[in-house]
Homo-oligomer: A and B are copies of this chain.
Amino acid sequence: MAKAPVLTPRAEDFPRWYQDLINKAELADNGPVRGTMVIRPYGYSLWERMQQDMDARIKETGTQNAYFPLLIPQSYLTREAEHVEGFAPELAVVTHGGGKELEEPVVVRPTSETIVNEYFSKWVQSYRDLPLLINQWANVVRWELRPRLFLRTSEFLWQEGHTAHATYEEARDFAARIHRHVYGDFMREVLAMDFVLGRKTAKERFAGAINTLTLEGMMGDGKALQLGTSHELGQNFAKAFHTRYLSKEGKQELVWQTSWGSTTRMVGALVMMHGDDSGLRVPPRLAPVQAVVLAIKGDDAVLAKVREIGDRLKAAGVRVQVDDRTDIPFGRRAVDWELKGVPVRVEIGPRDLENGTAMLARRISDKHSKHSRGGKEPVAIDALAALIPTVLEEGQQLLLDQARERRESRTSDVTTIDQAVEATAAGGWARIPWSTLGPQGEAKLAEHSVSVRCLVTEEGAVPDADETPGNVAVVARAY
């Protein structure tokens, strides 16, 4: 009799597979308040490593971290018309504080443009105070009617950058720099993610922005997920909050602004882009644990050896964990490490010890290679410390290649709206000329739950405007 699979197979029910994986790999639990989420230690360790790496990249741009309050007077949100329209339906409202009804209700921040501008307007006086480059790591709340762990949660963790510049060009270039060289590079180099970098249509733009850049990734089921966005805010918030500076020429000018955010949704994206039917596959550069060394049985010599190997791998710069919990059956532990997606397993039992070898299992492999799923190979114990860093770098590259290959093979160029609907219904993306689609075609696609993920130029670059001739719309069903 075949063993029951650990997870619902992806091909059978992708959303169920995702839910199973999040649960069994102990990434997160549902919170008690609708749409909220408890991020468990293993899930949080993934987020924490994302934070550390991104934080360093953000600081390299000259941006400094700060912290703005969670609670915002409701009146602030109404000052920018599009902004309040966009966020009003999602707000959590505090009406009572300290045992009394508040005179003015306050909202739990859904994003911080408004409160940030209230302070920017005080801090910015002269051109000497510009550019002002601020980031914060924080939680935000957007009431979610159809929640899904990590992907859409009523509370999520994120970083939100907010900058003010003297000119339109400087703001535009800064948003592009963050998008390409903080988000894009990080996601490609560390998360091994493949994506299309493009421009949102007017319909899909951030509420209050004049332009939104996005990174769109293809998930394992062919749907799209927005991985991060950067906005040019123009002078919309500056006008609403009177954020002005004295120019070199002695004139009062409104600042030009940007904002940009990336969230715990990236953990969900990691699962859906790289996961397989055995669980998560964590890109080695991100992995909190890159290699686990397992004692198969609890013989003293075996335990001593796994610890020694652990020390040697650590000395070789590998983030390693020793699993010597021999009171738990080996099979269960092996399955659990597979679920958690640790890139490399080193397994040792008494027989291996006699041979001076260990069994090496690669969590990330090419399906055509000898290392494919389940294939373990014996490796001389003395060779492990030299071999494993190479295996990790290979795994990192393989994940990126596999994601890119999937997107390329499941994206079709089409010329009609019907073809676009058909292609996306079959679990893929379609590319269609924006001149064919246009806002009306976009509305039609929406009736089929298909959206324009972004616009790109024919060469795949980011267009300067929605209506630039030659623009191509990338359309898909999306999370």
Contact = CB atoms under 8 A, between A and B. Distances in A.
B64 A45 contact: yes
Interface stretch (A84-92, A211-219, A297-305, A464-472): A84-92
A252 to B, nearest CB: 20
Contact of A72 (B29, B33, B65, B70): B33
Contact of A39 (B67, B88, B89): B67
A73 interface: yes
A479 interface: no
B106 A73 contact: no
A357 interface: no
B92 A139 contact: no
Interface in A23-59: 29, 31-34, 36-41, 44-45, 47-48
A65 B154 CA distance: 21
Contacts of A154: 71, 97
A328 B94 CA distance: 44
Interface in A126-161: 128, 134, 138-139, 141, 143-145, 154-155, 157
Interface residues of A, number: 58
This chain: how many copies in the complex? 2
Chain A interface main SS type: mixed
B99 A92 contact: no
B139 A76 contact: no
Interface string A249-273: 0000000000000000000000000
Contacts of A88: 99
A319 to B, nearest CB: 13
Interface of A: 29, 31-34, 36-41, 44-45, 47-48, 64-73, 76, 88-99, 105-106, 108, 115, 118-119, 122, 128, 134, 138-139, 141, 143-145, 154-155, 157, 327-328
